[in-house]
Amino acid sequence: MVKEATLNGVQWVVPDPKRENWYWPSEALKVHAWASDAKIYAQAAADPIAFWSQQADQLTWSKQWTKAYEDEPFAYRWFVGGKLNLSYNSLDRHVAAGKGGKTALIWEPEPVDEPSRIFTYQELLAEVSRFANALKALGVRKGDRVGIYLPMIPEAVIAMQAVVRIGAVHTVVFSAFSPESLRDRLLDCGAKVLITADGYYRRGKKIPLKQQADQALTGTSVEKVVVVRRAGNEIPMQKGRDVWYHESVAGQSTHFPPEEMDAEDLSFILYTSGTTGKPKGVMHTTGGYAVQVYATSKLDFNLHEDDIHFCTADVGWITGHSYINYGPLMNGVATLVYEGTPDAPDFGRMWQIIAKHKVTVYYTAPTAIRMHVKWGEEWPAKHDLSSLRVLGTVGEPINEEAWHWYFEHIGGKRCPIIDTWWQTETGATCVQALPGIGPFIPTVAGRPFPGIRAKIVDAGGVPVKTGDGGYLVMEPPFPPALLRGLYGDSEKFRATYFGEFGPRLYFTKDGARMDEMGNIRITGRVDDVMNVAGHRLATAEVEDALAQHPLVTEVAVVSKPDEVKGEVPVAFVLLKKGVHPSEDLKKDLIKTVDQHIGPTARPAAIYFTEDVPKTRSGKIMRRILKALVRNEPIGDLTTLRNPECVEDLQKAVGYKA
Ligand code: WT7
């Protein structure tokens, strides 16, 4: 089936002669693909449990499961009775198969004059084992929660792997999140240990991190802090609590027997935004998560042994968990981790990295692509991108212009674009085209992955007609990697995902439509969740942050489309009596947002107003504010308690519709 790992320069996609904007895999790509026959969909649909079991058979289990799937309302289990370890499946099994000398991880630091760090599978296994021993010496045991607040350095992957090797539970917090965000998460999960770094490089500057972590720790249950030395900046170390990473692993054995985990044991918690101000701790298991992440990495990106996989997400997001760390490593390929930003030292950095390491799979977000479109195609043109085979996107619907630019200027009109729809909750991709099957259509994600049952329903849960818009839901057997709960809040879990349609339909909160072939186009969130530069954010989180400013009485935040970031928050702020609006106050409010959430949540505009539209019961009508900032028809105002405020608001935002 597979002749060679890379086919540089070969035409991998061909345009559809009849349908404009449709593309299909070429014969050359089909020969090379794991899946090249659309029959896989029908076969998997006939028996999804058998399909997933075949995928699971490709991993190493220390004990075979007794039942592949079972469910009862709000509780579904995969590979019941099976035992495995995620780190064993990522590392040991490749070494055992004689592939210890293969490259596992390539790290590219931001400063261009600093050398890359490269780990073979053997070396990565040794380092992970040393750190697992160090964590054990610090008291970490199976089931304990370990916080990870690290920049994009190899130790981020090593730390995650070491934690799951012990059978402990990691919770990774994005390094650009504020101390307060970190504290909330550490408190919620009751973390015992935190792994962080002194600092890191961003656009040539050293960014301190340890001081941020210190601020977050007061009042938490964290007993020990492990600090990776990265930037070499001066940092305070607290005696008895803080240890350097390099000192903790010194003299530790390179052998650490992986903990045998039950398929349904918790492997990690990742916090994400819901519609309230408080992020939710999404819980992922071991077996089902491993299987779906393994199978989707392999089939979505057509991964073969010699691939160099470069996913540009941060490890703090689910994409980093599944497609920088576990997915590529379970597939035995090389995963590339880049520390910095795409504009350091110039706008060609990503393309320079691809050329330097002969990257074959590049996986990024539409917001990043739109940024590159702005910077211009002369930047990728300076670099040899002929090693690329497959391109991926994730995080939000990709607009046509960005798709075509990506297709032409990065993929050389040669590579398929795999638009993967999924969520923190699903743990792994669920809707996408497969490289060897197609079709690849701009703005259309693709078909549900084999074995996944997705459909589009109306508000009553009834399937809509082909082509009509509706809500995207999933039916049992639920995808193996689907979240099993929200940490410490089973009520919220039920209400959030099964509240609308009951326990037999998982509600994604996305609007979508489906064509006759089953291709799904995602139209966006239908709840109060924004997607800002690929970062998920609730309007309520930004409102809560702003409301904490001492001069603010009330806030309403809505999202507004943005050419590059997809969406941005816009805030309407009511000030306390006698307080005068000013530019300085705006700056101060932005600072408040930085402090409580982080810079990603900064409002693009702040309007000081006397009032915001409200219903008679006092609920803010965000729908009207949304229409105002988008220049869309405002609609009916008769249910408002204060319709007179709308005119002032129109002036304030420069409403033109
Ligand atoms: C929401 C989930 C999954 C990793 C990144 C985001 C939107 C995600 C796509 C896509 C259109 C997409 C959805 C989803 N989304 N991928 N390919 N096309 N929309 O994870 O932060 O949990 O956000 O991102 O609205 O519900 P997340």
How much is the average pLDDT of 212-231? 97
The 10s digit of each residue's pLDDT in 432-442 is 999 999 999 99
CATH number assigned to the domain comprising residue 297: 3.40.50.12780
- Quickly state the pLDDT bin for 252 (edges 50, 70, 90): very high
- Quickly state the pLDDT bin for 1 (edges 50, 70, 90): very low
In this structure, are 538 and 519 located in the same domain?
no
For residue 271, CA distances in Å to 50, 264, 288, 330 come to 32, 19, 19, 24
Please indicate, yes or no, if residue 112 is contained in any of the structural domains: no
Higher pLDDT, 619 or 414: 414
pLDDT at 69 over 70: yes
Pocket test for ligand 1, best of 394, 449, 482, 507 (most atoms within 8 A of CB): 394
Residue 260 DSSP symbol = -
Is the Cβ atom of 300 under 6 angstroms away from ligand 1?
no
In this structure, are 255 and 280 located in the same domain?
no
CA of 86 to the centre of ligand 1 (A): 24
Exposed / middle / buried, residue 274 (Cβ in 10 Å: 0-12, 13-18, 19+): buried
CA 364, CA 323: separation in Å to the nearest integer?
A: 11
Ligand 1 atom with minimal separation from the 432 CA: 17
pLDDT at 5: 41
How much of the chain, in percent, has pLDDT values that exceed 90?
88
pLDDT at 6 over 50: no
Q: Which residues pair with 171 in a beta bridge?
A: 147
The 10s digit of each residue's pLDDT in 586-602 is 999 999 999 999 998 99
How much of the chain, in percent, has pLDDT values that exceed 70?
99
Residue 287 belongs to domain spanning: 4-84+269-525
The 10s digit of each residue's pLDDT in 105-138 is 999 999 999 999 999 999 999 999 999 999 999 9
Domain stop point among 507, 525, 543:
525
Q: What is the mean pLDDT of the chain?
A: 95
CATH number assigned to the domain comprising residue 619: 3.30.300.30
Please indicate, yes or no, if residue 507 is contained in any of the structural domains: yes
Tokens of 511: 């609007």
Kindly report the pTM of this predicted structure. Answer: 0.92
Tokens of 625: 């504010």
Residues 620-648 as b or e (16 or more Cβ within 10 Å = b): bbbebbbbbbbeeebeeeeebeeeebbee
Please indicate, yes or no, if residue 482 is contained in any of the structural domains: yes
Residue whose CA lies nearest to ligand 1 atom number 27: 423
CA 69, CA 67: separation in Å to the nearest integer?
A: 6
- Quickly state the pLDDT bin for 651 (edges 50, 70, 90): very high
Higher pLDDT, 266 or 639: 266
Number of domains in the chain: 3
In this structure, are 516 and 554 located in the same domain?
no
In this structure, are 494 and 451 located in the same domain?
yes
- Quickly state the pLDDT bin for 527 (edges 50, 70, 90): confident
CA 420, CA 392: separation in Å to the nearest integer?
A: 7
pLDDT at 615: 81
In this structure, are 620 and 485 located in the same domain?
no
pLDDT at 2 over 60: no
CA of 139 to the centre of ligand 1 (A): 37
Residue whose CA lies nearest to ligand 1 atom number 24: 395
In this structure, are 197 and 70 located in the same domain?
no
Please indicate, yes or no, if residue 244 is contained in any of the structural domains: yes
Q: What number of CA atoms fall less than 13 Å from residue 291's CA on the CB side?
A: 30
In this structure, are 501 and 538 located in the same domain?
no
Residue whose CA lies nearest to ligand 1 atom number 14: 423
In this structure, are 461 and 451 located in the same domain?
yes
CA 94, CA 99: separation in Å to the nearest integer?
A: 5
In this structure, are 282 and 248 located in the same domain?
no
Please indicate, yes or no, if residue 229 is contained in any of the structural domains: yes
Nearest to 418 by CA among 400, 437, 403, 435: 435
Residue whose CA lies nearest to ligand 1 atom number 6: 395
- Quickly state the pLDDT bin for 3 (edges 50, 70, 90): very low
pLDDT at 9: 62
Ligand 1 atom with minimal separation from the 318 CA: 4
The 10s digit of each residue's pLDDT in 385-443 is 999 999 999 998 898 999 999 999 999 999 999 999 999 999 999 999 999 999 999 99
